Amino acid sequence: MITNNEPRWIMPFPTCPKCGNMITIDRNTYPDGEHVTACYFCKTQYRMKLATPIGVFAQANLQKVVWLKPLVDTDLLEGLMKPTVPKEIYNDFESTLYCFGAGVPPRAVAVMCRYTIQHALILKGIPENRDMKEMIDIAGSKNILSEIAVKQSQAIRFIGGKGAHPQEHWTLEIMPEDAKQAVLFAKRVLIELWPQSIPPTA
């Protein structure tokens, strides 16, 4: 007899989309609907959706697992290692990735990228200024940022600024791909600001 205390594994065991290892999911813990879970092996967190199939599969007490997307793509954290990168900056960027993966509106993700870079520049000794453009220009003039990083920081500033304010037309709104670019640019800039964080090559 099955009790609520006994595990009721979802069969067949689903595999992690990231590393391919099998994951055990207890039906008592995860009923039908959307949930957040993490792979035991690679630690990638996912939003998943469980649904009970109809017909013979339902009679067999099986459920279907639909992976939606990772909450944090751990590849985007590679090269950003604590304590090389200050804890507060690492946490800023990690929070941005969580929001990006959790389906937070892209404009909010863009604003968080802008905040992360502005915070990073402050920690690098650039005086805080309401006009982030001036902060970026100073960092470039002092060779704290390379020309590429200056351009990427300017793009983050622009995208984040658009995200922070309502736009008159949908073509001016921040789209998911814009937010993704802001995330990638932010990582590139952070690695440059703390170059020791780049892992050694073989």
Q: DSSP readout, 139-165?
A: HHHTTSS-HHHHHHHHHHHHHHHHHHS
Euclidean distance between CA atoms 166 and 202, whole angstroms:
47
Domain extent at residue 21: 1-71
126 inside domain: yes
110-127: average pLDDT: 96
Residue 34 shares a structural domain with residue 115: no
Number of domains making up the chain: 2
The mean pLDDT value of the chain amounts to 82
Euclidean distance between CA atoms 142 and 146, whole angstroms:
9
**What is the pLDDT at residue 74?**
66
* 49 DSSP β-pair partners: 34, 66
Residue 23 shares a structural domain with residue 117: no
Cis before 12 (ω within 30): yes
pLDDT at position 155 over 90: yes
pTM: 0.68
12-16: average pLDDT: 82
pLDDT tens for 47-58 read 788 877 665 555
Q: How confident is the model at residue 83 (pLDDT cuts 50, 70, 90)?
A: low
Residue 92 shares a structural domain with residue 48: no
86 inside domain: yes
Q: How confident is the model at residue 19 (pLDDT cuts 50, 70, 90)?
A: confident
5 inside domain: yes
201 inside domain: no
Residue 167 shares a structural domain with residue 104: yes
67 inside domain: yes
Is 120:186 a contact under the CB 8 Å cutoff? no
Residue 16 shares a structural domain with residue 95: no
Q: How confident is the model at residue 201 (pLDDT cuts 50, 70, 90)?
A: very low
Residue 6 shares a structural domain with residue 84: no
- Chain-centroid distance of CA 194 in Å reads 20
**What is the pLDDT at residue 63?**
65
29 inside domain: yes
Residue 82 shares a structural domain with residue 181: yes
Is 28:7 a contact under the CB 8 Å cutoff? yes
Residue 146 shares a structural domain with residue 84: yes
pLDDT at position 158 over 80: yes
Euclidean distance between CA atoms 121 and 144, whole angstroms:
9
Tell me the one-letter amino acid at 92. Answer: D
pLDDT at position 18 over 70: yes
**What is the pLDDT at residue 68?**
60
Is 110:119 a contact under the CB 8 Å cutoff? no
Q: Tell which wins on pLDDT, 118 or 41.
A: 118
49 inside domain: yes
**What is the pLDDT at residue 198?**
47
Q: Assign residue 172 the CATH number of its domain.
A: 1.20.120
Residue 12 shares a structural domain with residue 106: no
Residue 58 shares a structural domain with residue 147: no
- Asked which of 47, 71, 95 is the last residue of a domain, the reply is 71
200 inside domain: no
Residue 53 shares a structural domain with residue 83: no
Tell me the one-letter amino acid at 170. Answer: W
Residue 118 shares a structural domain with residue 162: yes
- Asked which of 12, 47, 71 is the last residue of a domain, the reply is 71
- Asked which of 71, 93, 113 is the last residue of a domain, the reply is 71
